[in-house]
Structure 1
Amino acid sequence: MAATEAAGNQNENAGGSKKKLIIIIAIIVLVSVGASIGVTMFFLGGDHQEAAVEAVPAVPVRKPAIYYEFSPAFIVAINVGGKQRYMQIHLSVMGRDQAAFDVIEQHMPLVRNKLITLYGSQDFRRMQTPEGKAFVLEESRRIIMEVLDQESDGMEIERALFSNFVMQ
């Protein structure tokens, strides 16, 4: 009987050691899975922070320039010392918003009237100088911006340009 009890104790010890072995293996598996997740998060977590920094642009991106050419050309008569002179201007404007050009087209009679009045009031000799041409370009831009300010919200024309300029 004593031998049977000793054999039973060995079986209990063997069953207990199997349970301990299973628990130890389970702990090792859980620790290794946790460690691999931690290492993965460490390496991937650093990339997410850099990507977040890269996603915020330091300088706002500008829209591409769009050009609009007034057609037909502006032709005005200027009286110079009793002689009739003519000035022909092909005007283009540069902006970055197509909606601004749509507003200009919608109010074209008003814009053309103001520009023709400007061009017809210029001194012929002054228009032969670079300063005179630069003044007229800036005034052309200002007149167009006046119309845009009255008829729209926040639209802008950046530059006015001569695509052709003839005086005779």
Structure 2
Amino acid sequence: MKAFIALLLALSLPFAAHAQEEKKEEEGEKAAPKVMYVGIIPALVGNYSSGMKMKFYKADIALKVTGSEAEEKVKYHEPLIRNQLVQLFSQQTDETLGSMDAKEKLRQEALKQVQQVLEQEEGKPYVEDLLFNNLILQ
């Protein structure tokens, strides 16, 4: 019987060590802030000028943040962020939205303006990147 218990303990030791390693990895993950994407919901919808004809856009946007504090700050200031982005999009033309390079410049300008809003309101930019999940122009 003693031999059986000793054998059972010997076989269970590797599993116990593996469980301890997993627990340490989970604790390490908890200590490191997580990257999250905060969606601007609902999507931005509006119009922009193209000479004599009005055109429309729909922009589905996500903001990349790290940590729950940044997520909370972005969500709290979402109305101000949304307003800034709507103003930026409404100033666009066919030339500023016509190519992939132009859309990338718009994305970078939108990121810069979102960071400026958060810098003014909170003292930190909080947002690391801005992504267009979908950008429809009509």
Relative contact order higher in (CA < 8 Å, ≥ 6 apart): 2
TM-score by length of structure 1 reads: 0.58
- Are the aligned partners of 1:103 and 1:151 in contact in 2 as well (CA < 8 Å)? no
Q: Distance in 1 between matches of 2:68 and 2:104?
A: 25
TM-score by length of 2: 0.70
Residue 125 in 1 paired to residue 99 in 2?
no
Q: 1:90-109 residue pairs with structure 2 within 5 A?
A: 90-109=60-79
Structure 1 residues 125, 153: closer, same or farther in 2, change over 3 A?
closer
Instruction: Please identify which structure carries the higher strand content.
Output: 2
What is the CA-CA distance between 1:105 and the residue it aligns to? Answer: 1.7
Aligned equivalent of 1:66: 36
Partners of 2:47 and 2:90 within 8 A in 1: yes
Q: Deviations over 1:116-146 (max 9, x none)?
A: 0000001223212111111111111111111
Q: Which amino acid aligns with 1:146?
A: Q
Q: 1:149 aligns with which of 102, 119, 122?
A: 119
How far the C-alpha of 1:156 sits from its partner, in A, is 2.3
- C-alpha contact (below 8 Å) 1:78/1:120 kept by paired residues: yes
Amino acid at match of 2:126: E
Q: Which residue of structure 1 lines up, in the alignment, with residue 51 of structure 2?
A: 81
1:62 is displaced (CA, Å) by: 6.2
Indicate the RMSD between aligned Cα atoms, in angstroms. 1.8
Identity %: 23
Gaps of 5+ in 1: 1-60
Question: Which aligned runs of 4 or more in structure 1 are off by greater than 4 angstroms?
Answer: none
Question: Which is greater in Rg?
Answer: 1
Q: Which moved more, 1:119-128 or 1:158-167?
A: 119-128
What residue ranges of structure 2 are gaps of 5+ in the alignment?
1-30
1:114 paired to 2:84:
yes
Alignment match, 2:104: 134
Equivalent residues, number: 108
Aligned to 1:32: none
2:128 corresponding residue in structure 1: 158
Shift of 1:155: 4.9
